[in-house]
Amino acid sequence: MSQFLSYAIPGLPYGCVFALLGMGLVLTYQTSAVFNLAFGAQAYASALVFYVCVSDGWPTWAAFLVSVVFGAPLLGVVIDLGLFRFVRSRPVLVKLVAALGLLIVIPAVLQVAFGTSNRYSPPSLWLSPSTVYFRVLGDPINGGELSTVIVTAAVALLLSLMFHFTQTGLRMRAMAESPRMVQLAGLSAERVGMTSWMLSSFLAGLAGVIIAPVFGSLQSLNFTQLLVAAVAAAAAGSLVSLPYTFLGGVILGILEEVLGGYLPSGNVLSSGLRPGFPFIVLLALLLFLPGLRRRWGRTDDPLAACDPPPAPIASTMRDPALYRATRIGTTVFVIAFVLSCLTWITDNWVFTLSQALALSIVFLSLVLLTGMSGQISLCQAAFAGVGAFTAGQLAMHFNLSILVGIVAAGVVAALVGVVVALPALRVGGLALALATLAFGLLADNIGFQFSWSLNGDSGISLPRPTLGPINFSSDRSFFLLIIVVLAICIAIVEAIRRGTTGRQLAALRGSELAAASIGINPARTKIGVFALSAGLAGVGGALYGSLDSSVSASDFNTLVSLVFVVVVATVGVYTVEGAIEAGLAYVLLNNLVTSSLPSSWASLLEIVFGAGAVVYVLHPEGVIEYLKRFAIEHLVRGGGERAEAEVLA
């Protein structure tokens, strides 16, 4: 018992934080229909501001006021007014991309504002973690644990009083029950929504400040990972119940530590299992909670005060002039590009461009998955990682050519994709996003740490391939190989788009009910496409690895996956060119930032693409696609008038 307690007690602060964040998630999901994956980043923001204030010599209470009491709700209001208010009746995909954009932008902006220096041993809010206050059955309770529990309990108590006895609380409950009725009763859904954003952002900020001392130093990734546990807590409450979410969070935090305590230490599995535990719980809840699956599977939103507006026609239809211009332009450009790369462009640039094109293959997998099939995956980098280690390990242990390895990489990644997608795809949307997020984090923490996979941060090496007499070890010949593989992948995606599957996907995106009613098997079609997309990512990852000659787990971590989604969504997720432009934009900007700009600009890339994701809300067709259309409309003379004439006719 005493041993159990000694493991369980350190779990309490985690549990409290999971509970706070989880309640924030449920609150905003119920009142504004947004699943805000950025709460982790908001927690980081408050923790960072608190840190900075305290280290500037402010008294703790003043720092707390600024970072949590005023700062956090203010941030909540800003993101509600500036972003989430506009997306609540949009498809799940748009909401997720918007939240992901925030998740990436907030820490990046903070880095620019406060510098990138390491911040060790964050200050505690109230009681010092190094003081032991009393003992329970002989186990010491330190100030950190004590204050966390007291603060969380107080907040939970206040919340429940508020929900039961105040007007605002009643309105929020009514809103969760039936948003339509709230509006019919003449209450402003917007006002109620804003209150809940303030409240939940406050909870996130509080969670950030009280958990910070537990981490040795302040790092945004730690806070992002907290969020997955919070999602699991919210899932335990089926996304509706605050008390169950609270309980779920606390139990999860304690279980995590207890599990870590009892597991033998020293091998990858046990060291990875503890941080991986929340993701396993989340996957299990997704699988086994039928109520949750129904809720997440439903196509309408809890808030939809009216039916979501149809997708803007502009985002799916293209002017024929643009088609023609694109085709001619692309042909000329591709020929010129390839010839240039083979002749006058320097080796360094050929290498950089090769990187861009290898990434384009991974991005192509998102065009297939997200653009054509309307699904979202937050673990595309993990599939690329699976591909990379498959090819690498086959080459290392079986002396298999990387060319064979690349094919094997695609196959293995596709199989892993099926396993990931099977449980979640039947319900789709948010559930798939979260399942893939959980899988990606599991891969980071456990899967990629083994020596038979990516060997953690030490990484593995991949040779360049040879094909009979042809040797691809020079950058230029490898560039050619990448071009060929890219062309094949493009052909695959285009074949799907033009074939039966493409039609089925379009139908499923349009109306799943009607699609099933004409005999389309939604689950099979989606799983097939998901697997194919994972396979493409695997191929891209293997090529990327072979180009770089070595890869490690950090090349394919979850943050990379999130950035991938955001980059492709920003640049253009509906077209094949979008993937290539995204690859080029990402690598070239990255190059610019790392080689030519001062280090304080390091997060520029994140800011650009994060902000781009926010723009995605306005232009789902992608920024570059939008610009192209804009240009065509104005450059091709009469284009505008012609369109108008058609409308009038």
Partner 1 sequence: MTEVTSTSTQAKETSAADAADSTATAARPSAGSGRGSRPLLEVRGVTKRFGGIQALSNVSLEVAPGETVGLIGPNGAGKTTLFDCVNGLMHPDAGTVIFDGQRIDGMPVYRRARLGIGRTFQKIELFAGATVREQLMVAEREKRGDGRLWKDLLWRGAPSPEEVDEVDQMVKSLGLEDVADTPAEAISLGQGRLVELGRALVQRPRLLLLDEPSSGLDSNETTALAAVLTVVRRDFGTAMLLVEHDLDMVAAAVTRVYVLDFGRMIASGPLDDVLSDDAVRAAYLGQAPLAPS
Does position 321 bind partner 1 by CB under 8 A?
A: no
Given 138, 519, 598, 638, the residue binding partner 1 (CB under 8 A): 519
Given 170, 185, 269, 317, the residue binding partner 1 (CB under 8 A): 317
Does position 429 bind partner 1 by CB under 8 A?
A: no
Please give the structure tokens belonging to residue 368. Answer: 């297939």
In whole angstroms, how close is the CB of 507 to partner 1 at the nearest point? 5
Please give the structure tokens belonging to residue 151. Answer: 């603060």
Does position 532 bind partner 1 by CB under 8 A?
A: yes
Restricted to residues 476-505, the positions that interact with partner 1 (CB under 8 A) are: 492, 495-496, 498-504
In whole angstroms, how close is the CB of 343 to partner 1 at the nearest point? 33
| Total interface residues for partner 1 by CB under 8 A | 32
Given 511, 549, 594, 600, the residue binding partner 1 (CB under 8 A): 511
Alpha helices in 140-262 (DSSP H): 143-165, 167-177, 179-184, 189-211, 220-236, 242-262
In whole angstroms, how close is the CB of 506 to partner 1 at the nearest point? 5
Alpha carbons 490 and 316: distance in angstroms, whole number: 19
Residue with tokens 């917007």: 190
In whole angstroms, how close is the CB of 116 to partner 1 at the nearest point? 44
Of 224, 232, 237, 162, give the one whose Cα is nearest residue 198.
Answer: 162
Contacts of 143 (CB under 8 A, 6+ apart): 124, 126, 127, 128, 129, 130, 131, 132, 133
In whole angstroms, how close is the CB of 498 to partner 1 at the nearest point? 6
Q: Name the percent of the chain in helix, strand, coil, to the closest 5.
A: 75, 5, 20
Applying CB under 8 A, the span of 264-272, 306-314, 435-443, 533-541 interacting with partner 1 comes to: 306-314
User: Considering beta carbons, is residue 3 or 500 the nearer one to partner 1?
Assistant: 500
In whole angstroms, how close is the CB of 434 to partner 1 at the nearest point? 24
In whole angstroms, how close is the CB of 308 to partner 1 at the nearest point? 10
Does position 520 bind partner 1 by CB under 8 A?
A: yes
**Residue 253 identity:** G
User: Considering beta carbons, is residue 182 or 414 the nearer one to partner 1?
Assistant: 414
Alpha carbons 563 and 28: distance in angstroms, whole number: 24
Does position 297 bind partner 1 by CB under 8 A?
A: no
User: Considering beta carbons, is residue 137 or 513 the nearer one to partner 1?
Assistant: 513
Does position 310 bind partner 1 by CB under 8 A?
A: yes
The one-character DSSP state at 217 is B
In whole angstroms, how close is the CB of 520 to partner 1 at the nearest point? 6
Is residue 470 within a helix (H) or strand (E), and if so which, with residue range?
Answer: strand 470-471
Given 1, 513, 648, 649, the residue binding partner 1 (CB under 8 A): 513
Given 94, 368, 372, 515, the residue binding partner 1 (CB under 8 A): 515
Given 507, 588, 589, 604, the residue binding partner 1 (CB under 8 A): 507
In whole angstroms, how close is the CB of 619 to partner 1 at the nearest point? 16
In whole angstroms, how close is the CB of 524 to partner 1 at the nearest point? 9
Given 247, 289, 506, 636, the residue binding partner 1 (CB under 8 A): 506
Alpha carbons 338 and 340: distance in angstroms, whole number: 5
Contacts of 282 (CB under 8 A, 6+ apart): 228, 231, 232, 235, 434, 435, 438
Does position 320 bind partner 1 by CB under 8 A?
A: no
Alpha carbons 112 and 577: distance in angstroms, whole number: 32
Residue 573: how many CB atoms within 10 A of its CB? 28
Given 260, 528, 538, 612, the residue binding partner 1 (CB under 8 A): 528
Of 109, 102, 81, give the one whose Cα is nearest residue 614.
Answer: 102
User: Considering beta carbons, is residue 164 or 498 the nearer one to partner 1?
Assistant: 498
The one-character DSSP state at 139 is E
Q: Are the CB atoms for 553 and 444 separated by under 8 Å? A: yes
Alpha carbons 504 and 492: distance in angstroms, whole number: 16
Alpha helices in 426-521 (DSSP H): 429-445, 475-498, 500-510, 512-517
In whole angstroms, how close is the CB of 421 to partner 1 at the nearest point? 14
Does position 214 bind partner 1 by CB under 8 A?
A: no
Applying CB under 8 A, the span of 180-188, 261-269, 305-313, 588-596 interacting with partner 1 comes to: 305-313
User: Considering beta carbons, is residue 216 or 510 the nearer one to partner 1?
Assistant: 510
Question: Which residues is 141 bridged to in the sheet?
Answer: 134
**Strand pairing report for 460-461 and 550-551:** antiparallel
* Phi, psi torsion values for 587, nearest 5 degrees: -70, -40
CA atoms within 13 A on the CB side of 239: 27
**Strand pairing report for 470-471 and 466-467:** antiparallel
Alpha carbons 123 and 50: distance in angstroms, whole number: 8
Q: Measured between alpha carbons, how far apart are the two ends of the chain, in Å?
A: 82
Does position 311 bind partner 1 by CB under 8 A?
A: yes
Does position 516 bind partner 1 by CB under 8 A?
A: yes
Does position 518 bind partner 1 by CB under 8 A?
A: yes
Does position 314 bind partner 1 by CB under 8 A?
A: no
Applying CB under 8 A, the span of 310-318, 381-389, 417-425, 475-483 interacting with partner 1 comes to: 310-318
Does position 298 bind partner 1 by CB under 8 A?
A: no
Q: Where does this chain bind partner 1 (CB under 8 A)? A: 310-311, 313, 316-317, 492, 495-496, 498-504, 506-507, 509-511, 513-522, 528, 532
